[in-house]
Amino acid sequence: MQAVLAHLLRSRLGNIPIIGEENTWPGGGAQARGVLGKVAAALGADAGPIDEGALAKALARAEVPPGAPYAAVDPIDGTKGFLAGGQYAVCVAWVEGGVSRVGIVACPRLDLSAPISALAARRPSGTVFVAVEGELRVAAVSPEGRVGPARPVAPSHGTGEGRILVTSRALGHTDPAAVRELAAALGGARVVRMDGQGKVGLVACGRADVYVRVPRAPGRPEPVWDHAAGIALARAAGLRVCDARGAPIDLSRPPVARGAAGAVVAPEGLADRVLAITRRHAGEDPA
């Protein structure tokens, strides 16, 4: 998948630096030819010839000077969810000056029309979230994989389903004690655990109220591809987006968000209440 995304990005945007989770290439021979064949099959007949050398360079992790623009790619965000038949996302972001300007979070199994109790499970339809410089749009994905027209979203929080708190399904990503305390502080919020940055999309479009990622151990690195596309969605929706200590998530020095501790996405009216709890669990900022 990352090879497909790298080819598409480079063919449309030129020799841009790409920072992704799967920056590897087989190195030639039958294995490389097999990957090229899969990329060509995924792109279809209109893709034209695919240059192995150019694709290998696109997949090599770029050296990005501090603050320089780059694309952040997560080909399968939520690998465990993907393998288990649950939620995952394909994420692409454009970062300039350490800030996500464009974000795409494609969730083939996340149906926004489903009740909140079913959102974490695999659904036959999906959603693509798109944020471009302050505008948030969503498009439905049919069971056959067809993407419908993207429509603007005017988020409104207060879904009638009670407070909804979304967090990672992977317990290694988030401190469960922090999640329990936060849910209680929000009046017994319902906790929805799922994989992928679609969690941020749910908050951005108003289907959930808060997203948190509170590291269980201090110093856990936060890769830029885990956050960049979701940050663009949150910014476009006018939400507070920061790490669990309340600091901005600095994407200017990939491959990690320097000094970041987890993530919080919440409306301004809830953000301070959320951070009062996450700060205690995340510990002091080492900077």
- Positive or negative, the CA dihedral 12, 13, 14, 18 is negative
CA within 13 Å, CB half, 241: 22
The pLDDT score that the predictor gives to residue 1 is 76
| Predicted TM-score (pTM) of this structure | 0.89
β-strand partners of 89: 77
Q: Which residue has the higher pLDDT, 162 or 110?
A: 110
Distance CA 207, CA 127 (A): 13
Task: Give me the chain's average pLDDT, please.
Answer: 87
Segment 198-230, tens digit of pLDDT: 999 999 999 999 999 999 887 889 999 999 999
Distance CA 234, CA 242 (A): 10
Q: How confident is residue 27, by pLDDT bands cut at 50, 70 and 90?
A: low
Q: How confident is residue 286, by pLDDT bands cut at 50, 70 and 90?
A: very low
Question: What's 89-119 look like in SS3?
Answer: EEEEEEEECCEEEEEEEEECCCCCCCCHHHC
Segment 83-139, tens digit of pLDDT: 888 899 999 999 999 999 999 999 999 999 888 888 777 888 999 999 998 899 999
Q: Which residue has the higher pLDDT, 173 or 60?
A: 173
Question: In this structure, are residues 195 and 90 in contact, taking their beta carbons and an 8 Å threshold?
Answer: no
Distance CA 238, CA 131 (A): 11
Residue 54 has pLDDT above 80, yes or no: no
CA nearest neighbour of 100 among 232, 262, 198: 232
Distance CA 170, CA 1 (A): 22
- What is the DSSP secondary structure assignment for residue 61, as one 8-state letter? P
Q: What is the mean pLDDT of residues 10-22?
A: 86
Segment 227-269, tens digit of pLDDT: 999 999 999 999 999 999 999 999 999 999 989 999 999 999 9
Q: What is the mean pLDDT of residues 60-81?
A: 89
> CB-based contacts of 95: which residues, under 8 Å, 6+ apart?
69, 70, 71, 72, 101, 224, 228, 251, 252, 254
Segment 265-285, tens digit of pLDDT: 999 999 999 999 999 999 755
Domains and CATH numbers, the chain: 1-62 (no CATH), 164-282 (3.40.190.80)
The pLDDT score that the predictor gives to residue 226 is 95
Distance CA 34, CA 286 (A): 46
The pLDDT score that the predictor gives to residue 101 is 95
Distance CA 86, CA 196 (A): 10
